[in-house]
Amino acid sequence: MSKVCDICGKKPLVGYNVSHAHNKTKKRWYPNLQSVKCVKDGQTVKIKACTSCIKSGLVEKPVKKTFQAS
C-alpha cells in the first residue's frame, strides 16, 4: 500500500527524532491521505488524496443520486 497522494504526489518525509541527549532515531512523517471517491474521465473511482488537495478543490466529487418518490 503506497502512501502517496494520487493528485499532487506528496510522499512521506524522512528525518530524525532527536532526544535531549542528542540520540537520533529514524522517523517518517506521513501525509494525511484519505480514501475518497472522485470523477475521472466520467467514471467514479476511489483514489487516495491528501487533505490539502481535497480542501483546495482539486478533487471533483461525484454527484449524489437522490431518490424521488412519485
Q: Is 8 a member of any domain? A: no
Euclidean distance between CA atoms 17 and 23, whole angstroms? 8
Sign of torsion, CA 54 33 39 9? positive
Q: How much is the pTM?
A: 0.77
Residue 32 lies in a domain: yes
Name residue, grid cell 482539486. Answer: 58
Residue 44 lies inside a defined structural domain of this protein: yes
- pLDDT, residue 18, reads 97
Alpha carbons 34 and 10: distance in angstroms, whole number:
13
Neighbours of 59 (CB within 10 A): 18
Asked whether residue 46 is assigned to any structural domain, the reply reads yes
Report whether pLDDT(4) > 80: yes
pLDDT tens digits, residue range 11-45? 999 999 999 999 999 999 999 999 999 998 889 99
Residue 65 in this model has a pLDDT that exceeds 70? yes
Counting residues of the chain whose pLDDT is more than 90, the rounded percentage is 77
Q: Is 63 part of a structural domain of the chain? A: no
